[in-house]
Structure 1
Amino acid sequence: MVSVDSSIAFLIYVTAVSSAAAGVTEACKSVIPFLATDYEPKEDCWEDVNHAARLTHYKRFFNLLISVVSAGVIFGLIGLDPALILTGAEVVYVDDSWEVGTWLWGIVAVFGSPFFASVLKIMESFKQNASHNQPPNRPRRKVTGPRE
């Protein structure tokens, strides 16, 4: 069953793998110059502008591809299934961690990382507020406008 704790554990795991994949991509950028180069047109003509845009799109594609592959490899090496973490299963390790589902979690982790990071902050603050069991903050004195 999905609980707040299992959701937080899932989000932490997926965002950690996404951050690790981003680190691998940055390391690849330092080794492969094509991945870190900013392309600008040589002259102000359509051919040069289109060529620079095409090279920029190739660069973005390969950066995302490296991130997805490295996230899939990280999921495969660790051998944990994020879906089992989310549902709160007792055993979250999988027998065959190199199946297609592992690679799909790599795609989810890379493309969903900003969303997962935001949801993680919301869930942690919700858990913190719920654990205190305090009523919401209320003003201590009444505020009124000037009377005329």
Structure 2
Amino acid sequence: MVNLDSSIAFLIYITAVSSAAAGVTEACKSVIPFLATDYEARNDCWEDHNHAARLNHYKRFFNLLISVVAAGVIFGVMGLDPALILTGAEKVYVEDSWEVGTWLWGIVAVFGSPFFASLLKIVEGFKQSVNNNLPPNRPRQKVTGPRE
């Protein structure tokens, strides 16, 4: 069953793997110059602009590909299934962590990382307000009573 604590654990795990994959991508950029270079047109003509744009798109594609593969490898090495973490299962380790589902979680982690990071902040804030038993924020307006 999905609860607040399992949701937070899931979001932390996904965000951590995504950050680690981004670190691997940055390390690859420092080794492979093609991945860190911004391409600009040499002359102001359509051919040069198209060539520069094509090289920039290739660069973005390979950066994302490296990040997805790194996230998939991290999920595979850890052997934890994020879906089992989310549902709060007692056993979150999987027998065969190198199956297709692991790589799909790598794609979800890389492309959904901004969303998951924002959602994590919201859920943690909600948990704090629930734990503190604070009433929900309501608009307040100062009023005065009738003067006699």
What is the TM-score when the length of structure 2 is the normalising length?
0.93
Verify: 1:46 aligned to 2:21, yes or no: no
Number of corresponding residues: 144
TM superposition shift of 1:136: 3.7
Kindly report which structure 2 residues correspond to 1:1-148, keeping only aligned pairs within 5 A, or say none.
Answer: 1-136=1-136, 142=142
Q: 1:125 to 1:48 in 2, by over 3 A?
A: same
Identity across the alignment (%): 85
How big is the alpha-carbon RMSD for the aligned residues of Structure 1 and Structure 2?
1.5
> 1:62-102: CA deviations, max 9, x gaps?
00000000000000000000000000000000000000000
TM superposition shift of 1:139: 7.8
Amino acid at match of 1:77: V
Q: 1:87 to 1:46 in 2, by over 3 A?
A: same
- List gaps (5 residues or longer) in structure 1: none
- List gaps (5 residues or longer) in structure 2: none
Secondary structure in 2 matching 1:97: coil
Q: 1:44 to 1:143 in 2, by over 3 A?
A: farther
Amino acid at match of 2:2: V
TM superposition shift of 1:135: 2.1
